[in-house]
Chain A
Amino acid sequence: MLGWVLHNVVWIWLIALVVIFGLFNEFFFTTFNLQNIMVQATVLGMIGLAVALPLLVAEIDLSLPANLGFSSAIGALAYSDLGLPWVLAMLVGVAVATLIGFFNGLCITKLRMVSLIQTLSMMIILQGALLALTQGRTITNLPDGYVWIGQAAIGGWPVMPVIFILALIAVAVLLRNTVLGRSIYAVGGNPVASNSAGVRVDRVKIIAFTIAGFLAGVGGFLLASWQMAITSNQGSSYLLYAIAAPIIGGVSVFGGRGNVVGVLGGVLLLTVIQVGLAIISVPSFYVGMIGGLMIFIAVAIDAFRVRYFG
């Protein structure tokens, strides 16, 4: 019983918080707020999924949130400065993000660079590059087509979360049902044994980083489309939440463990905390501290679970 509770602690914690926030302010239960949470969760979800893939192969990519911001700016500039149609410009942005992920993968496998430091430096480079590109200004001249998906609603429901749901399903299928997915778990679980077992370890890691870059690129497009703007530090604020979400959801930092459902749980939990604290009007000076405390509790419970229930 206790084992079951701890295994599903993310979801129980999520439901508990929803109830608590709802009791404080019944606005929390409104359809409008539910839609708001879904939209908010979309970008964090995309980047959380992205972060989960390198974690699963026992590496880490800290540059993903910076990649998200930088690639969306490239996409926007491809439209405004090169005059490409917005769809093509958006695809250029996503392609750049994917290439950056691929490059990170190459550095970590072929050059044997340590992922923590390599991607940290990549993060600083990309943040700096975004600042240089925008010259500190916010890009706002985004075309209508580009911002459509971030604003569109069908029957009152926002369209943007659909992309996240599709990405969730795609990554879930990839991990559960494909040779690549199985190889990802094997490489994360024991890279030396995987190599001896005939798994192409380097290739699997590179692909994981590349897919992560792609997801960050799509996330970057969605964030810009939703906000209708690209700031000179777009994406950076997501860094810690993007790493926390999959780990809270049970993705092991040592690799080989975790699944998409857990990532979803972690993403929803963090989003509910953020939105909930805003709705019950916690003074903004305290939001960071209380939010951090809630994440701390979630991680502590998870550590307890791993220790006593495997």
Chain B
Amino acid sequence: MTAASARQTGEDPFILKVENLSKRFGPTLALRDVSLGIRRGTIHGLLGENGAGKSTLVGLISGQREPSGGTIYLDGRPIENVDVKAMEKAGVFLVTQEPMIIDHLSAAENLMLGIWPSRRGFVNWRKLRADAARMLEGTGIDPQAMAGRLDAVARRKLNILRAMFSGGKVIILDEPTAALTVADRAQLFDFMRQLKAQGVTFIFISHYNDEILEICDACSVLRDGALAGGTEDVASLSSAQLSELVLGRGLVLFQRERRAFAESAPAIRLRDIASDRIAVPELVLHPGEIVGFTGLPGAGAKELARAIFGLSPIRSGSIAFAGEPARPLPATPRDAFDMGIAFLSDDRRRDGLVAGMTIGENISLSSLSAVARSGFLRPEAEQALAARYFKAMGIKATGPATVADTLSGGNQQKVCLGRVLATEPRLLILDEPTRGIDIGVKQDVLRIIDELSRSGVSVIIVSTDTDEIVRAVDRVCVFDNGSVREEIFGDAISSERLRRTAGDKAGA
């Protein structure tokens, strides 16, 4: 049902409305007097920096948390006793950032998880398969496929479908494009448009302006727990205006001054790197050069980065720093650090932080031998190191003794970055360094990397974020089928060019 027809029938044009919604956590007011309306059958964007109150608002709307004040209306009726059950019954579903998928069950079983058609406690398998097959028609997902084998887009689609099948009318998507490539994202957006045409309403949370501008009809921006602004007509907004709403000030987006290195002597020469998934005969890095690795998942960008750091097994491969003989690539991360190679993983929760340890302990974790004498830690040396990188990274916390678990995503990423920089690497490899962190912190991170490169460190950034690649690197290596298909230098690097390159492959 469209907004127009709803008005004609006298129904409330807003399927979901909140009035003066507030949420207090102890002494802090996480959400203040937020009022907004979501129109039936639209995609409504929700923007804001980390900690702006997006998750709190979504948590209240989906019933996971109880509001401290204010009212939620569905179809014009106020909801009393807001909890998950009540909201799901009313048709509001939250699809979280991490897809809720059980890998060893089939797509069909995942789709019906918890809503199995059953009689007297026995699952009606025939009906389950039939229902699932009908739901999955036209999505390109095989109902019998093991969920663990599905790609990222298929997994998201599965979650969205499950919400719909459970009776979802308003589906909240919390950063659904995290970990998706450009091509996947386009596919997901098409899927959302299809469902929208069927009358589903979406609330779409994203960090990226271009996504909001591309897919949303309306949007609301949160800042410091309050509504900072919004529009019923996204088309009337520019990306710059959106950024300004998010940050509340004129944000200067970082842009590296690209340098040309063709003439200079190389700092690092990688040779004959081969594994089951990659084959790279030669790759040269110059001192102070930032190289972007991009490509579809599985094309080899991430795989090569991990292989150089000793995180995935290889058949052959050597590295030679300028003025040094070639050596085999490191077999373990420890060997890599000892050679002067540092790596920052894209998954900081799983692969970056030790959440229970303090910021300082995390920062020193990769350089413990540098702050120890014959196996015993020197507290002064360790604290000095921690304090230095705590300051240099601009981590927002009381001090290095704060437990890392309590930090926001962006600050956790700064801690991880501080840890790898503390090893004083000669080659720094960053895998999706700004994924899932807000636009303000993203500029900080890109600036830190830029400054580091000026001291002569060579940097590899693996990224599927074209905007980041365009702003941060001197050269782009486009990966395909395990090797570098194309190199783009200097001013030739642009969003259009990168999109086209990715599109070539997707279309092929």
Give chain B interface residues in 382-428, CB to chain A under 8 Å. Answer: 419, 423
B361 in the interface, Cβ–Cβ < 8 Å? yes
Knowing A182-B361, A198-B366 are in contact, say whether A193-B354 is a contact too (CB < 8 A).
yes
A180 to chain B, nearest CB (A): 7
* Contact with A189, one of B311, B333, B334, B354 (Cβ below 8 angstroms): B354
Measured in the bound complex, the distance between the Cα atoms of B357 and A257 in whole Å is: 9
**Secondary structure type dominating chain A contacts:** helix
A199 touches B375 (CB 8 A): no
Interface size on B, residues (CB 8 A): 27
B354: which A residues are within 8 A, CB to CB? 185-186, 189-190, 193-194, 197, 256
B352 touches A179 (CB 8 A): no
Interface string of A184-223 (1 = CB under 8 A from B): 0110011011111111100000000000000000000000
B334 touches A192 (CB 8 A): no
A177 touches B376 (CB 8 A): yes
Give chain B interface residues in 153-205, CB to chain A under 8 Å. Answer: none
Give chain A interface residues in 164-190, CB to chain B under 8 Å. Answer: 177-180, 182-183, 185-186, 189-190
Interface size on A, residues (CB 8 A): 21
A190: which B residues are within 8 A, CB to CB? 350, 353-356
Give chain A interface residues in 50-78, CB to chain B under 8 Å. Answer: none
Knowing A186-B365, A198-B336 are in contact, say whether A193-B377 is a contact too (CB < 8 A).
no
A193: which B residues are within 8 A, CB to CB? 345, 350-354
Knowing A186-B365, A189-B355 are in contact, say whether A197-B377 is a contact too (CB < 8 A).
no
Q: Which residue of B lies closest to A252 (CB)?
A: B356
B479 in the interface, Cβ–Cβ < 8 Å? no
A182 touches B332 (CB 8 A): no
B356: which A residues are within 8 A, CB to CB? 185, 189-190, 256-257
Measured in the bound complex, the distance between the Cα atoms of B419 and A180 in whole Å is: 18
B369 touches A196 (CB 8 A): no
Measured in the bound complex, the distance between the Cα atoms of B361 and A179 in whole Å is: 11
B419: which A residues are within 8 A, CB to CB? 197
Measured in the bound complex, the distance between the Cα atoms of B78 and A214 in whole Å is: 66
A194: which B residues are within 8 A, CB to CB? 354, 365
Q: Which residue of A lies closest to B423 (CB)?
A: A198
B357 touches A185 (CB 8 A): yes
Residue among A178, A183, A192, A193 with the highest chain B CB neighbour number at 10 A = A193
Measured in the bound complex, the distance between the Cα atoms of B361 and A183 in whole Å is: 10
* Contact with B351, one of A177, A196, A257 (Cβ below 8 angstroms): A196
Measured in the bound complex, the distance between the Cα atoms of B415 and A190 in whole Å is: 15
A256: which B residues are within 8 A, CB to CB? 354, 356-357
* Contact with B375, one of A178, A192, A197, A257 (Cβ below 8 angstroms): A178
B345 to chain A, nearest CB (A): 6
Residue among A185, A186, A196 with the highest chain B CB neighbour number at 10 A = A196
* Contact with B333, one of A183, A195, A257 (Cβ below 8 angstroms): A195
Chain A residues engaging chain B, CB cutoff 8 angstroms? 177-180, 182-183, 185-186, 189-190, 192-200, 256-257
Chain B residues engaging chain A, CB cutoff 8 angstroms? 311, 332-334, 336-337, 343, 345, 350-357, 361, 365-366, 368-369, 372, 375-377, 419, 423
